[in-house]
Structure 1
Amino acid sequence: MDQTSLLDQLRPNLLPEPVSYWPPAMGWWLIAILLITGIAVAATFLVRHYRKNRYRRHGLRKVQAIYQSYLNHQQKRQFAHDCNRLLKAVALQAFPRQKTAQLNGQPWLDFLYESSGNGLFKQTAAAALGAERFKPDQEPDVELLHTLTKSWIKKHHA
């Protein structure tokens, strides 16, 4: 007999069935559970952080509106009053009412300094936010007040 004829008599090789991707091994299930849990925890943290800082975003929009209003009317003392009112409103959102509602004058400026750490609240330009804003000869530095107000809203530590 010829060798080629013997080979022709063999049945073809049977290949095993391909490995299935489903169901995955136990390790993949654990990785999926950990990944889903991690995403849920991160999403919860981000949503809480976003909601917790809603008052800051609103305050920053209000600062811009106050500044635009100032550019129209050019009244520096009114701008100082509006900035002070906004800072008080934001402080009442972030801090206990008993701590902030009664503050005015120098204690108010001290509070703004302590809660932000911004040394500019100790200088004369920020005095326009205290009792100085009621003096008739007071001419506040609008640009500095605008910067201070935005900075405090963004960076205060509640």
Structure 2
Amino acid sequence: MSEIDPTSLDSLVDIVVPPPAGWWPLAPGWLLVLLAIGLAGLVRLAILLRDWRRNAYRRDALRELDRIAGSDGRTTWTKVPELLKRTALAAWPRADVAGLSGTAWVEFLNHTGRTPGFGGNIGERLLALSYEPGAVERFSTTDFQQVVEASRDWIRHHARPEAAPC
């Protein structure tokens, strides 16, 4: 009888490797992580939807401003100050905005905008469009475009009050 040599390489057997662990079903910890990510995504979506709804007045005002700026006649130029007032009334309480006129109105626009865009000549042109019937005849197209650009910037970037109605 032949004796088997324990040190012989002929008696080696291949190692059986188990299959890799699958990704599914996930461990309970991963399920909690996925649930937290999903909830955070839903909260973010709700915030984006709320902000989108709250800024509907801005989108409407910008569309109307584009319509006014793109019109051929100078008679529509006088609608820019009215549009700014209506936009402000949509964001602030009526008691805070409705009574403002003249330089107080321009100061309000400069204070609540990202930059004081209605300073100097642009503020004077805005007031002239508001209160002087023949002002549009004095303005060039460039003058009007400066008022439109300042108005567009204010509509896009004005700081709403914290307690503004939604």
* TM-score range normalised by the length of the shorter chain: 0.7 to 0.9
Q: Is the 8 A contact 2:112 2:158 kept in 1?
A: yes
- What is aligned with 1:127? 124
CA contact (8 A) 2:68 2:76 kept: no
Q: Distance in 2 between matches of 1:136 and 1:24?
A: 73
How many residue pairs are counted as aligned between the two chains?
150
Cα distance, 1:129 vs structure 2:
2.1
Letter in 1 for 2:84: L
Q: Name the CA distance, whole Å, in 2 between partners of 1:28 and 1:117.
A: 44
- Distance (whole Å) between structure 1 residues aligned to residue 81 and residue 129 of structure 2: 12
Distance 1:18 1:148 in 2: 64
| C-alpha separation in 2, matches of 1:112 and 1:151 | 11
Please point out which of 18, 21, 28 is paired with 2:30: 28
Unaligned runs of 5+ in 2: 5-14, 161-166
Identity %: 29
Q: CA deviation at 1:17?
A: 7.8
Contact kept, 8 Å, 1:127 with 1:133, in 2: the verdict is: no
- How far the C-alpha of 1:128 sits from its partner, in A, is 2.5
Task: Tell whether 2:96 aligns with 1:94.
Answer: no
**d(CA) in 2 for partners of 1:29 and 1:113?**
51
5+ residue gaps, structure 1: 4-12
**Per residue, is there more helix in 1 or in 2?**
1
Matched residue SS, 1:98 = helix
Corresponding position of 1:10: none
Q: Distance in 2 between the 1:18 and 1:132 partners?
A: 76
The code of the aligned residue for 1:96 comes to P
Displacement after TM superposition at 1:27 (Å): 1.5
Cα distance, 1:89 vs structure 2: 0.7
Note the C-alpha offset of 1:22. 4.0
Q: 1:121 is paired with a residue of what secondary structure?
A: coil
Q: Secondary structure at the match of 2:110?
A: helix
1:135 shift after superposition:
3.3
Which stretch of structure 1 is more off in the superposition, 57-66 or 24-33? 24-33
Within 1, Cα distance between the matches of 2:16 and 2:129? 95
User: Using a 3 Å threshold, how does the CA distance of structure 1 residues 14 and 136 change in structure 2: closer, same or farther?
Assistant: closer
The SS at the match of 1:130 is helix
The one-letter code of the counterpart of 1:130 is L
CA contact (8 A) 1:105 1:131 kept: no
2:103 to 81, 102, 106: 106
